[in-house]
Structure 1
Amino acid sequence: MKWKSEIAVVACCLGLVTGCSTGQPDTFTFTADLPPNFAYKAIAEYVPAKGETCTVPGGRNTAVGYNMKWRESYTPNSEISMYRTVSGCPLVIRRIRLDINASYWTHRGDFGGDSAMVIIRDDLEEQYKGTFSDAGESTFYGHCQWLFRTSGAQRRIVKILDCKAANARGEPERGHPVSGYSLDQLPGKTVKMKITLAGEERPYMGDTWVKLPKGWKRCMGDNFEDQYAFCFGNFKDFSSFRMPDGRQCTIYPGCTE
């Protein structure tokens, strides 16, 4: 039966059966081409192989993390196993959940993040499958932009990272960056996520900043303590704000007019 042969292949790759070989590697490489000060964090998730009725108690240890401490130790290339066995249950990779993280200043909290995903399913329709070059590499794209706002009593600048799917020209599309593959596409191949960054930032929330020839000015709102500080048509009264590096400024991003 077909499902028995599929289980046999999984068992070979897991080393559960000796004297057999699929003739293919049981890993693939995930990598990323990212802007400066960006890093990814990945979690590869596994489920019982097709035809298996076993379960892993509590679902424990069915995921493997990469670059989990991306601030201290980061590498763009991650070698990902297609198969694992946990608590005696043969597992196969199902998806890779990705966090795209980027630092905009030196404090630990001065970073933004968004998500992406690689989906691995044998029942994917052809139109949703990634394609590979002759060199064995498949690339999917994303486009990120910094959104700025003020926060706290000092109106300190903080930034939010917004990432969208993109085409090969880097033009943003709907949804988050994502790509899909069937299991048989992946042995020995490389999947790459390529992210571009918008050249200009924009406000996180509408009607809070006013665009002038030299940059953005922050509307005052009711007073300096007004945390929302919507403009509401008042384009004359503006407030100062504090940059992440501590500078007191009146226009963003140039600081002084």
Structure 2
Amino acid sequence: MTSSFFRSRFLLAHAWPALFGLLLSGCSTLGSVGADTFTLEGELPADFALEAQAHYGVANGCNGRARTRSFESDFEDSPHAYRFRIPVNYRDGLCEMRLARVGLFINGRYGDKDWQRTYDNGGLELVDTLPEGAPRFDGNGRLSKTAECTWFFQLSRAHSRKGEISKLLSCSGAGAYLANQTLPGKFVNLSFQVQQEERPARRNTWLSTAQGWKPCVPKEGWQQCQEPPVFGTFRMDGRECTVYPKCKE
């Protein structure tokens, strides 16, 4: 009986460190994946992609640091949906991490070359109190918005492609304020539309004609159209053109 008692104490003494470590490991792992979440979803136009960067701060005063998690949808040749489940809070070891904001990178492409890609920004800001007039979740826990995106064209000044058409992207309405106390379990539907008409990136540098937009040749030291206007040419898809977007009059 005495031998059995000491053998049991010996086994327990040697097993306890491993068991204790396993418990700690299990708590840390479960804490990092168990979280309250909300869903960010919507529709993207063809040749658009979206990246959401969720920024977290330490909420319980532990000795931790801010964290970032990224969620991405890729480019597609046709309109497509995206859906991200974003944690509102989670545990990282002993630290409670709480979502502070979600930065959005709205990526668009207008050609197959690397330089024919650009982006605009948007964002979801978490607040304790919604600003006056800010959209709120409906009775089904959904908030829906549509961002309007416009392409702005210009002549590239880059030495390697000077005189080529390049574009900038601008998206309005690509964000919202969210009340952090009621966010878990909610759905934010943020969709994107592209305006059919493109516009010059700078005023009075192109003139609209019945055939299309024609680029002005400015006076030396002057950025805008001359009076009367003098028109130049530009390059697009390897062709020399006189009007945008048709290229030829």
- Please tell me the TM-score bracket, short chain as reference: 0.7 to 0.9
| Contact 1:129 1:182 (C-alpha < 8 Å) held by counterparts | no
1:125 is matched by which residue type in structure 2?
Answer: L
CA–CA distance in structure 2, aligned partners of residues 127 and 229 of structure 1: 42
1:32 maps to which of 38, 42, 58:
42
Cα offset, 1:93, TM superposition: 0.7
CA–CA distance in structure 2, aligned partners of residues 256 and 139 of structure 1: 42
Task: Note the 1:14-163 alignment, pairs <5 A.
Answer: 26-49=36-59, 52-57=60-65, 59=66, 62-67=67-72, 70-71=74-75, 76-86=82-92, 88-121=94-127, 123-125=128-130, 127=132, 129-152=134-157, 154-163=162-171
Task: Give a deviation string over 1:197-243, Cα, whole Å, max 9, x none.
Answer: 212111101221111112111112358xx9x75313241x2111111
1:189 is matched by which residue type in structure 2?
Answer: K
| Contact 1:56 1:87 (C-alpha < 8 Å) held by counterparts | no
2:234 maps to which of 236, 241, 245:
241
Cα offset, 1:75, TM superposition: 6.8
Name the count of aligned residue pairs: 214
1:212 maps to which of 200, 209, 213:
209
2:3 aligned partner: none
Cα offset, 1:254, TM superposition: 1.1
**What's the Cα RMSD here?**
2.8
TM-score (norm 2): 0.76
SS where residue 82 of structure 2 aligns?
coil
Task: Give a deviation string over 1:174-219, Cα, whole Å, max 9, x none.
Answer: xxx2211222322222111122221211110122111111211111
1:169 aligned partner: none
CA–CA distance in structure 2, aligned partners of residues 222 and 87 of structure 1: 64
**Overall identity of the aligned pairs, in %:** 30
User: Cα 1:111–1:78, aligned 2, differ >3 Å: closer, same or farther?
Assistant: same
| Contact 1:219 1:234 (C-alpha < 8 Å) held by counterparts | no
Cα offset, 1:129, TM superposition: 4.9
SS where residue 103 of structure 2 aligns?
strand
CA–CA distance in structure 1, aligned partners of residues 204 and 94 of structure 2: 57
SS where residue 238 of structure 1 aligns?
coil
- Name whichever structure is richer in helix by fraction: 2
Matched, 1:164 2:164: no
